[in-house]
Structure 1
């Protein structure tokens, strides 16, 4: 995982991104990833595929909009996943660091993430990379904030 790089989600890499699979049981904690094509032209979303060399290993979609009503969505990781074969190798940390760098570049002082609670869910990961749980939303999902 020494050659990690970001590429903007595009028609050229969406098929490769769609080919990534999670570890068994993790699908329940993520909105279906079979239709990333629907996000390619979304204007407000910051969408990146993370590659290790030529292999796609992760996807992240963030939002940076100071006008959003809920603070947890102004500078926020909306969706992210790491291919099962690339987990626990620093890819997720790299991804969060890249989102934080973009947020900082845009003038934000923190990033947020919202996740579904559960044993196989991403809560332990988010807390390990510096997110502090600040509450939960109306659906019972955890809201975490990371200062940058």
Structure 2
């Protein structure tokens, strides 16, 4: 059960070790990059990356990173900007407790707070795909691909 102290917090020196220790289940490792890769990407894409630790009480239970207001396809439409879930890692022993749902809803709220109307996400298809998780949250496939990954969108009301 999720506690009332569940929150997203910035990754800072005091929680860095706990955040980088987050590992998904072994059968999911091919589906999502490790947190250390995400933090490196956040450093390189500092203007658009929004990395956060998912914390329940005093325990880091996962990691989520959003992309905020990026130009989706500069060659085709340089004015079209999108925001969404870039990465979601829930610690292997913490899955199935609602932390992923909480994190996606918190990202959606941040995007809404910034004036966004949609949340985008991509996922790997195949065995152990997170597609059912995202579809269950209300995302719908757009028919687009980002590389080889299907793109989903959630309309914010």
1:112 to 104, 113, 120: 120
The residue number in structure 2 matching 1:18 is 20
2:53 to 27, 49, 54: 49
Q: Give the Cα–Cα distance (whole angstroms) in 2 for the partners of residues 126 and 64 of structure 1.
A: 19
- Name the SS for the 1:126 alignment partner: helix
The residue number in structure 2 matching 1:86 is 94
* Contact 2:42–2:50 (8 Å) recurs in 1: no
Q: What is the TM-score when the length of structure 1 is the normalising length?
A: 0.89
Q: Deviations over 1:38-88 (max 9, x none)?
A: 2564232111101111111111111111x5133997111111111111111
The residue number in structure 1 matching 2:151 is 143
* Contact 2:141–2:150 (8 Å) recurs in 1: yes
Q: Deviations over 1:70-110 (max 9, x none)?
A: 39971111111111111111101100110010110111111
The residue number in structure 2 matching 1:6 is 8
1:61 to 55, 58, 65: 65
Q: Give the Cα–Cα distance (whole angstroms) in 2 for the partners of residues 36 and 122 of structure 1.
A: 18
CA change 1:89–1:35 in 2 (3 A) is same
Q: What is the TM-score when the length of structure 2 is the normalising length?
A: 0.84
CA change 1:132–1:11 in 2 (3 A) is same
- Name the SS for the 2:115 alignment partner: coil
Structure 1 unmatched runs, 5+: none
